[in-house]
Structure 1
Amino acid sequence: MKEGDFIKYEFIGGNLEVVESKNKSLVGLKGKIIDETKNMFVLDNGKKLVKDQSIFHITINEETFEVKGDLLVGRPEDRLKKRIK
């Protein structure tokens, strides 16, 4: 897989861990992504995470990616058109 292809994945159903965040109390938070909006992930534990304030480890199909949340801001369907620089 080429670097940057992860952005085209469907994240719902994937496992997420917060590795860095502006809100230090979120670091280490883990959960399964059950919904995604333009600016947030919703986890199975009820937590809502603002995308652009954190760096995440997201595991999908046994592949783990470290993702800066600001790259994911926007509607999920618009990520297909987005290019990583």
Structure 2
Amino acid sequence: MISSQNVLRHELIGLDVLVSGAANPSHKGLSGRIIDETKNLLVIDTPRGVRRIPKMYSIFAVRLPGREHVEIDGSVMVLAPERRINLHEKKRIP
């Protein structure tokens, strides 16, 4: 089950997100649903259309199932999603 402790080991597509901090002031405050993820971008479906937000200089507040929110520094997510998920899984194995 996805939680604030293991969010980086899970798929983010489909989760609601708020850009709580960004180097680009026009990105700050954007909210919507994550519809795609690449190595460097989160693609968010907002009420004003689809936006591509760079991970590197952004902070994302992600709403997890059960209404729990977690803030994620985008710089720790700068990997292809499949590599990010596998990397964190390997660290967990003793």
TM-score higher than 0.5 = yes
d(CA) in 2 for partners of 1:70 and 1:43?
17
TM-score, length of structure 1 as denominator length: 0.86
Residue 50 (structure 2) pairs with residue 49 (structure 1): no
Over the aligned positions, Cα root-mean-square deviation in angstroms equals 1.5
TM-score (norm 2): 0.79
4+ residue runs over 2 A deviation: none
Match for residue 26 of structure 1? 27
Identical pairs, percent: 35
Deviations 1:8-63 (A, max 9, x none): 12100001101111111211110100011111011113100000110010112132
- The equivalent of 2:62 in structure 1 is 58
Q: Which whole-Å CA distance do the structure 2 matches of 1:16 and 1:43 have between them?
A: 8
Give the unaligned 5+ runs of structure 1.
none
- C-alpha displacement of 1:64: 1.3
Tell me whether 1:36 sits opposite 2:37 in the alignment: yes
2:33 maps to amino acid: K
Name stretches of at least 5 consecutive residues in structure 2 with no aligned partner. none
Partner of 2:79, secondary structure, is: coil
Aligned residue pair count? 82
